[in-house]
Amino acid sequence: MRIGTGYDSHVFEDGRRLVLGGVEIPDCPGLKAHSDGDVLAHAVIDALFGAAALGDIGGHFPDSSPQWKGADSMRLLRAAAAEVAAAGYSIGNVDATVVCERPRLAPYREDIRKSLADAMGIDVGRVSVKGKTNERMDDVGAGLGIAVHAAVLLD
Ligand code: MG
């Protein structure tokens, strides 16, 4: 078994749509990014690559590359899961914690779990997504953006 962790954070930017785990969330600004800014997908991708010791998201999908401008991060997640599978691993489970003052995650959590599970080709029972606030501490707590911690176990 191999364990990997991933972390990502992005700041809000007005005029963009917010996408978390491939699910569009209304009534909240989106995140500044070269890609679609799916901070949750990015953290999970880094946990996958980390568990397999295959580098990181920036090495596989450089944000200097026009190929990934505005990219659908779920496409990147599918590609990362395929690379991990090609290296001989299967995904045991994924656990992610989304830290933000807004939006409230609970109404979207099941859709997000299913979306992530579908992209990785695994059962939704292997994917956990949890929401937390930062109790108004630091920049995330001031509502400037969203941070995500993720852990992945590979068999
Ligand atoms: Mg990112």
Give distance in angstroms: CA of 86 to centre of ligand 1.
24
What does the pLDDT read at residue 69? 76
- Count CB atoms within 10 A of the CB of residue 73: 27
Rounded Cα distance between 78 and 42, Å, is 12
What's the 38 CA to ligand 1 centre distance in angstroms?
7
State in Å: Cα 124 to ligand 1 middle.
23
CA–CA dist 118, 124 (Å, integer): 8
Task: Look at residue 64 in the predicted model and tell me its pLDDT.
Answer: 79
> What pLDDT sits at residue 65?
80
Each of the 155 residues of the chain gets a pLDDT tens digit; together they read: 999 999 999 999 999 999 999 999 999 999 999 889 999 999 999 999 999 999 999 999 988 788 777 789 999 999 999 999 999 999 999 999 999 999 999 999 999 999 999 999 999 999 999 999 999 999 999 999 999 999 999 99
- How many whole angstroms from 80 Cα to the centroid of ligand 1? 14
CATH of domain 2-154: 3.30.1330.50
Ligand 1 centroid, distance to 87 Cα (angstroms) = 24
